[in-house]
Amino acid sequence: MEESKKIIFFALRHGDSEAMKEGVIASNPTECIENYGLTQNGRKQACNAACHFFEQKKEDLLNHSAVCVRVISSDFKRAAETAALFTETLNDLIKKNLSKESEERYNPINVTHDILLRERYFGEYDKTPIDNYQKIWTNDEMDESQEICGVESCIHVAERARNLINRCSKEATSFEKQFVIFVSHGDTLQIMSTLFNSLSPGKHRHLPHLPTAELRTLGEWASKD
């Protein structure tokens, strides 16, 4: 008989960033991998997100022999820093609440980076004021395949999100349960969320806005051995 294993996906948006402080759209990989990291407040937000997650999932997290946590992040600096701080804080909290014997057997959670989680590319709107987001979102709702001014379409963002989710669901694991946390960006995660809510990608703004450093449950995925 096949054993069903549960995969629960989460979205964690990066914390407050230097780009947000400047009020500009920052989506070009050539700049964002090395620049536009977290502000001091953003760093605190990332740590607080880990504390909240620990309190919500404490029982599962301390059952580390049966539950696996994976943190997968965009390689943009603001997301990578969020993932690193979140994971470091979460590891510390878990270890502090384990017995000495269990702590010795504990394998720390690590961060992996994946370009599929990069920010949506905003074309000619890159490095322009963030007020331009609304223009893009209005166009999205009218045509989810639109690429006006070189903007990456909702369809394309949804496709790369779907590819990552499918890949994670197929990767072998011996654990009864997995928590997969995607650390990414506002539009990427909003569009990803449509895949779990039976919405077309262009309607991503019909879903509740995902604030900075908020960790939100996306949904479950059952894989078969």
Q: Is the pLDDT of residue 142 over 90?
A: yes
pLDDT for position 3: 52
pLDDT for position 223: 45
Give, rounded to a whole angstrom, the gap between the first and last alpha carbons of the chain. Answer: 9
The full DSSP string for 127-151 is: TSBGGGHHHHHHHHHH-TT--GGGP
Angle between helix 40-56 and helix 77-96 axes, rounded to 10 deg: 40
* Enclosing domain of residue 80: 4-223
HSE-up (13 A, CA, CB side) for residue 137: 16
Chain-centroid distance of CA 58 in Å reads 20
Q: Give the count of domains, the chain.
A: 1
pLDDT for position 221: 62
Residue 169's contacts (CB-CB under 8 Å, 6 or more residues apart) are 7, 221, 223
Which has more pLDDT, 66 or 25? 25
Of 1-5, 48-52, 102-106, 209-213, the one with minimum mean pLDDT is 1-5
Task: Tell me the three state secondary structure of residue 113.
Answer: strand
pLDDT for position 220: 86
Q: Rounded CA gap, 134 and 121, in Å?
A: 15
CATH number reported for the structural domain that contains residue 50 in this entry: 3.40.50.1240
Rg (CA), the chain: 18
Q: Is the pLDDT of residue 8 over 80?
A: yes
pLDDT for position 130: 97
Question: pLDDT tens for residues 66-117?
Answer: 899 999 999 999 999 999 999 999 999 999 999 888 888 889 999 999 999 9
pLDDT for position 1: 33
